[in-house]
Structure 1
Amino acid sequence: MTLVKPTRLLLAGLTLLLSAGAWADFSASPEQARGIAKEAYLYGFPVVEMYKTLYAQAVDKGGPNFKAPFNRIGNTARVFTPKDTAIITPNSDTPYSFVWMDLRAEPLVLTLPEIAEERYYSVQLIDLYTQNFAYLGTRSTGNRGGHFMVVGPDWKGQQPVDIDRVVRSESNIAYALYRTQLFDEKDLEKVRKIQNGYKVQPLSQYLKQPTPVAPAKISWPKPTASMTDGPELFRYLNFMLAFAPAQDSEKDLLARFATIGIVAGQPFDLKALTTEQRKALEDGISDAKAEFAAFKKDKVDTHQVTSGDFFGTRDHLNNNYLYRFAGANMGIFGNSADEAAYMGYFVDNAGKPVNGAKHSYTLHFAKDQLPPADAFWSLTMYDAKTKLLVANHSKRYLINSRMLPTLQRDADGGVTLYLQHSEPLKDQRSNWLPAPHGPFYAVLRLYLPKPEVANGQWKLPALTPIN
């Protein structure tokens, strides 16, 4: 089979993105700019937050979080610890594998090995908007393995006969995030063997055909500490949008963004703004942050909306940019609802923010009311300030369903967990999840959740302060 030459994405000018050259006109009035900046911040935050991880894992070869160059797989044959800082709110149940995909020149073929039926694994395919456009693995394609081809928005070739499935990304830069379930420390060698069976090949290599012409080299702008806090975000947003053709449903929105200088592949020069223009952008971003804070307090903390609302395909999200922002802000790269359910503990049973310096807490699951999941469940602790795992001398970052045989049962057959900073009484230590000496949150994850989670039959118990 011959390869069809892909349409090339024109990236001229990307290397000038952060320079002070000519850029799109700022034609909006200050009043208009404030409203547009609010929209653009909610829209662009996930894209730029994703760029932080992209740069750390695939570009910054000397950095502590580097995994592998583009179109190659990086395996982490261990679970995450507080030292892992490239992804906020990570899970620590499934060792990760990572592939940052550059699909401009040709598709990639991802090969999965066959694994035992009792083990969960998945490959989450994410576009640069943080939308989950497809899944491979236990739920979606089974544990039998296979060959799967990921193609970019411009590819127009034919599916090779031995490819099991073709999935299309709407962006030319995309992310494949693998999760392989780890049963316990003794199981690590088996996980490592499974990871060694994950293969990634350009289509030409897979078909043993000539390599197509290499795409233009990309000059990746270095992240800054404040890149998602203010108008600087729009510089990185312009850069990233060059890798994704505009969607019909967003053309009017992008036209509005252009009136404040947000244009795919164009520089965004903060120094060219007047004081009034910059203040309008800053005020709009403040408005966006305030809207999210109110939404989190009223809807997220009270569990009126769930993680299933924040993560999924473009069709699922239906261009709800506040929801997409919420997902990226609280736990970027979260799974879609069919794959996993996430339930956050940000407040206690009285609606007060949880804080390990002020209280210890209990979480009680009644008999026969443990989290219903076909794969497994896990409760993980995070520092609210860093959104990372909490360092503790026990090196315990979670309690999961695989640990049930070692947990102390209540007299009624239920299970009570202790979320607190200080070490509890001896008979409670097996059920202790160490908290920081300050604000925290915990996330309950259910992998392959059962129907009673989505239909509301199973009720999430609340965190209760210990007097």
Structure 2
Amino acid sequence: MTFAKPTRLLLAGVSLLLSASAWADFTASPEEARGIAKEAYLYGFPVVEMYKTLYTQAVDKTGANFKAPFNRIGNTAKVFTPKDTAFVTPNSDTPYSFVWMDLRAEPLVLTLPQIAEERYYSVQLIDLFTHNFAYLGTRSTGNKGGHFMVVGPDWKGQQPLNIDRVVRSESNIAYALYRTQLFDDKDLEKVRKIQGNYKVQTLSQYLKQPAPATPAKISWPKPTASMTDSPELFRYLNFMLAFAPAQDSEKDLLARFARIGIVAGQPFDLKALSVEQRKALDDGISDAKAEFAAFKKDQVDTHQVVSGDFFGTRDHLDNNYLYRYAGANMGIFGNSADEAAYIGYFVDSGGKPANGAKHSYTLHFAKDQLPPADAFWSLTMYDGKSKLLVANHQQRYLINSRMLPNLKRDADGGLTLYVQHSVPLKEQRSNWLPAPHGPFYAVLRLYLPKPEVANGQWKQPALTPIN
């Protein structure tokens, strides 16, 4: 079965073909189907997890997490709190702006203002596979601002003279995730003004020309509670793949997926499967989850692989679907290694899972060994079950480098942070990061990390239980 032709048709009429009653044949034996389902689950989870965010932010206008319709910008001029649930492991240092891009009809032009050199900001451009295909902002284009054009995979026009850069997405649905550094609570109004100067226009609007024909209306399927934990995932994956032409490096893989009914733009009908076929898919998904659990325990928790391995361009990930799954599972929309480094504290110095009901912990940075970052660093707390920020009476969700003047240093000039659920001693409270009364993890983020992070010269301290 080929993929180029149905993909091309679907981009013009998604809602028409998705309503068809026919669906791709399930030709794999149960044993084969189990192995294919394992592969397809690891491959498809990031795509469908991304769809959850797309739906809540750009489709469900009545939802609490709605930000803006497609091709318009939505700003959140506040820091994230435990009430924000659109995606897991959010940061609370950089108020976000959001643009969900529909590039089927024409490109979008993103205009960025000039901002002060000391303030970090970025625009992370993400395709529907969760690849970070480009960046705009402090590191990549500077703080001087400019006009940048994002084009879809099929666009063949000319670059206008006053466009600073053209970047191409391999999918017609893509995401622009803006981060604007917030210095402190008093700085919110300045951040709000910066966000107000972020502009998004279609190319025809930017050039003040007639708009091209409106593409077919998309019937977005409503998310379900089990969509990323069951074979339901394959229905949403088929839907999303209609917006991305097959890559040459994946045509054999997609042909294998077709043997269990995974075909771009086609319905995926679980009710049409036999009991044996459904069990094969369930078992394959269980196999995928088990592989990730072992990988996380043996390589992620021990820092043998790091966040920079999980996020980046397609070339960077080199079709490593386990890595891409790991990134989406633990912290979807993470930055590429050049933009930020993420160090996850899932276990303590003894290799045991972090748990605020069982222990209090310290994180000690020796003198002159604070996290090396050209922009800033931040340690943020997350609930181990929900993967969201942790509610606490202090309303403190993180400790970052902007807070250093208010933190108490050790006698030798080092810095000890207290990570625990119970209120610490009075002299330790300035350095307290509240933990939940149960499983947790913390993420140390370094924005614009210095070379000693990647080359291993700087060693992160361990999360140490207090005896």
The two structures have a TM-score, normalised by structure 1, of 0.97
Change (3 A) 1:302 1:444: same
SS in 2 for 1:189: helix
Q: For each residue in 1:15-43, what CA deviation from the matched residue of structure 2 results, as whole angstroms up to 9, or x when unmatched?
A: 36776821000000001000000000000
Partner of 1:379: 379
Q: Is the 8 A contact 1:20 1:269 kept in 2?
A: no
Change (3 A) 1:291 1:16: farther
SS in 2 for 1:327: helix
Q: For each residue in 1:197-221, what CA deviation from the matched residue of structure 2 results, as whole angstroms up to 9, or x when unmatched?
A: 1000000000000010000000000
Partner of 2:170: 170
Q: For each residue in 1:292-318, what CA deviation from the matched residue of structure 2 results, as whole angstroms up to 9, or x when unmatched?
A: 000000000000000000000000000
C-alpha separation between the residues in 1 aligned to 2:193 and 2:100? 21
Q: Is the 8 A contact 1:30 1:280 kept in 2?
A: yes
C-alpha separation between the residues in 2 aligned to 1:188 and 1:57? 22
Change (3 A) 1:158 1:9: farther
Greater mean deviation of Cα atoms: 17-26 or 351-360? 17-26
Partner of 2:462: 462
Partner of 2:63: 63
Residue type of the partner of 1:82? P
Give the alignment's Cα RMSD to 1 decimal: 1.2
C-alpha separation between the residues in 1 aligned to 2:10 and 2:62? 29
Displacement of 1:90: 0.1
C-alpha separation between the residues in 1 aligned to 2:248 and 2:167? 20
Partner of 2:202: 202
Partner of 2:52: 52
SS in 1 for 2:10: coil
Partner of 1:265: 265
Residue type of the partner of 1:313? T
Gaps of 5+ in 2: 1-6
Gaps of 5+ in 1: 1-6
Displacement of 1:405: 0.4
Partner of 2:4: none
SS in 2 for 1:10: helix
C-alpha separation between the residues in 2 aligned to 1:437 and 1:17? 49
Q: Is the 8 A contact 2:257 2:263 kept in 1?
A: yes
Change (3 A) 1:384 1:64: same
Residue type of the partner of 1:191? V
Partner of 1:242: 242
Residue type of the partner of 1:429? R
Partner of 2:277: 277
Matched, 1:442 2:442: yes
Partner of 1:26: 26
Partner of 2:222: 222
Displacement of 1:237: 0.2
Partner of 1:133: 133
C-alpha separation between the residues in 1 aligned to 2:28 and 2:233? 18
Q: Is the 8 A contact 1:17 1:235 kept in 2?
A: no
Q: How does 1:24-423 map to 2 (within 5 A)?
A: 24-423=24-423
C-alpha separation between the residues in 1 aligned to 2:207 and 2:237? 35
Q: Is the 8 A contact 2:383 2:439 kept in 1?
A: yes
Greater mean deviation of Cα atoms: 7-16 or 139-148? 7-16
C-alpha separation between the residues in 2 aligned to 1:258 and 1:447? 41
Q: Is the 8 A contact 2:355 2:439 kept in 1?
A: yes
SS in 2 for 1:330: helix
C-alpha separation between the residues in 2 aligned to 1:190 and 1:12? 42
C-alpha separation between the residues in 2 aligned to 1:17 and 1:297? 43
Greater mean deviation of Cα atoms: 266-275 or 19-28? 19-28
Q: Is the 8 A contact 1:377 1:447 kept in 2?
A: yes
C-alpha separation between the residues in 1 aligned to 2:408 and 2:17? 58
Change (3 A) 1:354 1:17: farther
Residue type of the partner of 1:312? G
Partner of 2:3: none
Change (3 A) 1:13 1:107: closer
Residue type of the partner of 1:61? K
Displacement of 1:87: 1.1
C-alpha separation between the residues in 1 aligned to 2:94 and 2:35? 41
Q: Is the 8 A contact 1:8 1:104 kept in 2?
A: no
Q: Is the 8 A contact 1:11 1:265 kept in 2?
A: no
SS in 2 for 1:304: coil
Residue type of the partner of 1:460? Q
Q: Is the 8 A contact 2:41 2:288 kept in 1?
A: yes
Q: Is the 8 A contact 2:89 2:330 kept in 1?
A: yes
Q: Is the 8 A contact 1:18 1:221 kept in 2?
A: no
C-alpha separation between the residues in 2 aligned to 1:18 and 1:285? 24
Residue type of the partner of 1:351? G
Partner of 1:15: 15
Q: For each residue in 1:231-271, what CA deviation from the matched residue of structure 2 results, as whole angstroms up to 9, or x when unmatched?
A: 00000000000000000000000000000000000000000
C-alpha separation between the residues in 1 aligned to 2:212 and 2:285? 43
C-alpha separation between the residues in 2 aligned to 1:110 and 1:311? 23
C-alpha separation between the residues in 1 aligned to 2:37 and 2:15? 25
SS in 1 for 2:446: strand
Partner of 2:431: 431
Q: Is the 8 A contact 1:107 1:203 kept in 2?
A: yes
Change (3 A) 1:218 1:96: same
Q: Is the 8 A contact 2:15 2:216 kept in 1?
A: no
Q: Is the 8 A contact 1:18 1:235 kept in 2?
A: no
C-alpha separation between the residues in 2 aligned to 1:17 and 1:444? 45
Partner of 1:3: none
C-alpha separation between the residues in 1 aligned to 2:322 and 2:27? 25
Change (3 A) 1:18 1:273: farther
Q: Is the 8 A contact 1:9 1:104 kept in 2?
A: no
C-alpha separation between the residues in 2 aligned to 1:390 and 1:82? 6
Residue type of the partner of 1:399? I
Q: Is the 8 A contact 2:10 2:17 kept in 1?
A: no
C-alpha separation between the residues in 2 aligned to 1:17 and 1:190? 47
C-alpha separation between the residues in 1 aligned to 2:234 and 2:10? 20
